[in-house]
Amino acid sequence: MSIKTEPGVRELIEQKRQSKNIKELFEKAIPFFLFSIAAVSILTTAGIIYTLLSETIEFFKRVPIADFFTGTVLKPLSQTPEFGVLPLIMGTITSSLIAMLVAVPIGLMSAIYLSEYASDRVRKIFKPLLELLAGIPTIVYGFFAFTFVTPLLRELIPGIQATNILSPGIVMGVMIIPMIASLSEDAMSAVPNSMREGALALGSTKLEVTKKVVIPAALSGIIASFVLGISRAIGETMIVTIASGSTKNFTFDITQSMQTMTAYIVEVTGGDAPAGSTIYYSLYAVAMTLFIFTLIMNVLARYVSRKFREEY
């Protein structure tokens, strides 16, 4: 019969030392592991920039950069192709401005109601219902714009084309309402109640408190939501691809068919553009232009958030 013996003091000390060494090694490895995980997004961004930049440089070896950014004609498949990006920029800016004209007043008014006027019960019901709009796939919005909004607009504006930039612009505005409303409401809700109560105690009405106290105090978050909304509209793809058509018009007429940068990218990648051709490289030049647009919007949003931020 074997007799179990307890480990000696020396063995216990050795086990303790080994356990401590393992813990120290683990603690030293954790920062490197977390850094590598955090570096994935940075490396991915660097890879995207490298890919876009290298292919864009190849495009500009074939097409002068001045012709690309100042040309008003885009005919990549003609016998004498022209690669002016201004029609795509015009389509992108026009659709985004229409979207913001729809989304900003509705989103801001919704945020004001939820933050300042709605009861807790109404807010708990209404806000999730509003945010459901953000969960609808964009391709569904695109078909909605093409099959419902456009026919409705043709009844109101007889001269509007079957594919136009007005219809997808309106629907994009509806799509980004939840973003503006939710972010603006969060910014307003962060304003301390003591500021509201102080203004009310001085005789201000509810509307005056909202206009002169809450909105100025939450201006950082509100403007940031606007800028992020513009960025979202600029990068939208499926709605404009389905409802705005593929006509590369350089025009200010919102009733005509226009093409955005994202829609052009979809058209080229889904077409028969052979790798190595000029039209193939134009895809990267347009994508690089779009990347710069969205980068400017994001940088602007961060700048506005920091400049107008109020700390309580």
Q: Write the pLDDT tens digit of every residue in 256-297.
A: 888 889 888 888 887 667 777 888 888 899 999 988 888 888
pLDDT at 171: 92
The pLDDT of residue 47 is above 80: yes
CB 237 within 8 A of CB 138: yes
Q: List the beta strands (DSSP E) in 147-258.
A: none
Average pLDDT over residues 39-65: 87
In this prediction, residue 229 carries a pLDDT of 87
**Average pLDDT, integer, range 216-238:** 86
Let me know whether 89 and 188 are in one domain.
Answer: yes
In this structure, the answer to whether residues 256 and 182 fall within a common structural domain is yes
- What is the C-alpha to C-alpha distance for residues 307 and 178, in angstroms, rounded to an integer? 24
Provide the angle, in degrees to the nearest 10, between the axes of the packed helices 219-234 and 86-112.
140
**200 inside domain:** yes
pLDDT at position 56 over 80? yes
261 and 299 assigned to the same domain: yes
Q: Are 84 and 220 contained in the same domain?
A: yes
Q: Tell whether 224 and 92 lie within a shared domain.
A: yes
Residue 93 has pLDDT above 50, yes or no: yes
The set of residues, in sequence order, having a beta carbon less than 8 Å from that of 194 and lying 6+ positions away, is none
Give the pLDDT band (50/70/90) at residue 9: low
**Contacts with 30 (C-beta within 8 Å, 6 or more apart), sequence order:** none
47's tokens: 């890879």
Task: With a cut of 50, say whether residue 209 has pLDDT above it.
Answer: yes
Of the listed ranges 2-6, 107-111, 187-191, the one predicted with least confidence: 2-6
- 179 vs 297: which has the higher pLDDT: 179
Q: Are residues 15 and 155 in the same domain?
A: no
Mean pLDDT of 198-206: 83
Helix, strand, coil share (%) of the chain residues, nearest 5: 75, 0, 25
Q: How many domains does the chain have?
A: 2
Question: pLDDT band at 8, cuts 50/70/90?
Answer: low
Q: Is the pLDDT of residue 6 over 60?
A: no
> What tokens appear for 86 in the block?
């201004």
| 4 in any annotated domain | no
Residues 255 and 137 in one domain: yes
Residue 1: predicted pLDDT: 47
Q: How confident is the model at residue 253 (pLDDT cuts 50, 70, 90)?
A: confident
> Is 302 found in the same domain as 157?
yes
Q: Say what the pLDDT of residue 99 is.
A: 93
Place of tokens 């058209």: 267
Q: What percent of the chain lies above the pLDDT cut of 70? A: 91
In a domain, 214, yes or no: yes
Average pLDDT of the chain is 83
Q: What one-letter code names the amino acid at 279? A: I
Residues 209, 84 share a domain: yes
| 228 part of a folded domain | yes
Range of the domain at 227: 74-307
Residues 96-143: tens digit of each pLDDT:
999 999 999 999 999 999 888 888 888 888 888 887 887 888 889 998
Whether residue 34 lies inside any domain: the answer is yes
Question: Higher model confidence: residue 206 or residue 7?
Answer: 206
Q: Would you tell me how many other CB atoms lie within 10 Å of the CB of residue 70?
A: 11
Considering the domain architecture, whether residues 260 and 124 belong to the same structural domain is answered as yes
Given a cut of 90, whether residue 77 has pLDDT beyond it is no
**Cα 103 vs. chain centroid, distance in angstroms?**
14
Say if residue 164 is in the same domain as residue 264: yes
Note whether 108 and 229 are within 8 A (CB). no
CA distance 133 to 256: 27
261-269 vs 86-112: helix axis angle to the nearest 10? Answer: 120
- Per-residue pLDDT, averaged over 230-238, amounts to 86
- pLDDT grade, residue 41 (50/70/90)? confident
pLDDT for 197 beyond 50: yes
Specify if 82 maps to a domain.
yes
Here the tokens at position 212 are 């002169």
Residue 278 maps to a domain? yes
Residue 25 lies in a domain: yes
**How many Å apart are CA 118 and CA 216, to the nearest integer?**
20
Question: Of all residues in the chain, what percent carry a pLDDT higher than 90?
Answer: 9
Q: What is the DSSP letter of 135?
A: G
Angle at 302 between CA 299 and CA 308, to 5 degrees: 135
Q: Which residue do the tokens 């864009």 mark?
A: 56
Q: What are phi and psi of 74, to 5 degrees?
A: -125, 100
Q: Quick one: 58 and 80 in the same domain?
A: no
Q: What residue type is 68 in one-letter code?
A: F
Longest dimension (CA), the chain: 103
Residue 4 in this model has a pLDDT that exceeds 70: no
- Residue 39: pLDDT over 80: yes
Give the tokens for residue 42. 């940075």
Contact residues for 129 (Cβ-Cβ < 8 A; gap 6+): none
Burial class (CB in 10 A: 0-12, 13-18, 19+), 7: exposed
